[in-house]
């Protein structure tokens, strides 16, 4: 009985379509694999064509349909093209995961340039806005509802010295997510925010190089309840949960997937 229930959950996305940005590596790549494993057709978007092509081949070799579109989410025309590509290939979008983002450079507020501020906010915040705009249009036109997950961070709640643009962009996603959820919820589209902690991704490897292993290892040993970094597939499964029928009454919410980091004094 339990195995039949589990099998049903694992196949609950059969025939659905998932659009995932930032899909070339880390959490985005793992999310593409998790949605495909649960039966969804996937549309993969990022700036790295080689990585997207490789993941598309891998997913299709396992019997699920996949396609990719090279996209810079900070450019409206490219985001519109991305959503149009998904509609052309599959005729619908059921799930959207707005994951594309990057950390930017370390800089004191006194030395932070306007160009660096714009560079980070254009991807991490404007990019999510643009994705929401065109994803919502497609979902509303289709009339079947949908689920959208924006990807924030533990820095949606906590500041970090010399990372003002990144932290500001991730804080802003809370307000953006709840606002759009209030607008789209009555029309059958759920919108939630998933906030990962320290996860074993290229971004955090860059952080280790920047700040040193000792700082990271101390944080893992003293701040993270589980005493380890998360794995991309663990975050991907949390994203899939928020899109699934198991979360049918969850919208406008923020889910932390941080191993307990945020709740340590």
Euclidean distance between the first and the last CA atom of the chain, given in angstroms as a whole number: 42
Range of the domain at 88: 2-199+232-260
**Inside any domain, residue 213:** no
Rounded distance between C-alpha atoms, residue 54 and residue 39, angstroms: 19
**Inside any domain, residue 248:** yes
Q: Mean pLDDT throughout 129-154?
A: 97
pLDDT value for 2: 31
Burial (CB < 10 A; 0-12, 13-18, 19+), residue 262, is: middle
Residue 7 has pLDDT above 80, yes or no: no
- Residue among 68, 95, 166, 216 flagged as catalytic: 166
**Inside any domain, residue 17:** yes
Q: Mean pLDDT throughout 113-137?
A: 98
| Both structure tokens of 70 | 């090279």
Overall domain count for the chain: 1
The model's pTM is: 0.93
Residue 108 φ/ψ region, left for φ over 0, alpha for ψ in the -120 to 50 degree band, beta for the rest: beta
pLDDT value for 214: 82
**Inside any domain, residue 225:** no
**Inside any domain, residue 218:** no
Q: What's the pLDDT band for 154 if we cut at 50, 70, 90?
A: very high
CATH number at residue 67: 3.40.50.720
**Inside any domain, residue 208:** no
166 annotated active-site: yes
Question: Which residues have C-beta within 8 Å of that of residue 101, sequence separation ≥ 6?
Answer: 22, 123, 124, 127, 151, 169
**Inside any domain, residue 224:** no
Q: Taking the alpha carbons of 176, 49, 63, 84 in that order, is the dihedral positive or negative?
A: positive
**Inside any domain, residue 220:** no
């Amino acid at each position: 009985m339990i195995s039949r229930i589990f099998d049903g959950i694992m196949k609950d996305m059969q025939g659905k379509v998932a659009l995932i940005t930032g899909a070339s590596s880390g959490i985005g790549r793992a999310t593409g694999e998790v949605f495909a494993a649960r039966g969804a057709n996937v549309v993969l978007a990022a700036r790295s064509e080689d990585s997207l092509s490789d993941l598309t081949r891998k997913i299709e070799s396992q019997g699920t349909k996949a396609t990719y579109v090279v996209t810079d989410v900070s450019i409206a025309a490219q985001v519109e093209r991305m959503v149009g590509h998904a509609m052309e290939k599959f005729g619908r979008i059921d799930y959207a995961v707005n994951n594309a983002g990057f950390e930017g450079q370390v800089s004191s507020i006194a030395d932070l340039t306007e160009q660096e501020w714009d560079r980070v906010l254009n991807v991490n915040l404007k990019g999510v806005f643009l994705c929401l705009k065109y994803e919502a249009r497609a979902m509303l036109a289709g009339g079947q509802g949908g689920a959208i997950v924006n990807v924030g961070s533990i820095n949606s709640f906590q500041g970090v010295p010399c990372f003002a643009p990144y932290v500001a962009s991730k804080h802003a996603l809370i307000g953006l997510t709840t606002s759009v959820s209030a607008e789209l919820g009555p029309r059958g589209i759920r919108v939630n925010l998933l906030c990962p902690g320290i996860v074993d991704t290229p971004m955090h490897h860059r952080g280790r190089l920047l700040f040193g292993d000792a700082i990271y290892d101390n944080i893992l040993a003293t701040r993270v309840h589980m005493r380890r970094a998360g794995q991309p597939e663990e975050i991907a499964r949390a994203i899939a949960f928020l899109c699934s029928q198991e979360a049918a009454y969850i919208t406008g919410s923020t889910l932390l997937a941080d191993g307990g980091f945020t709740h340590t004094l």
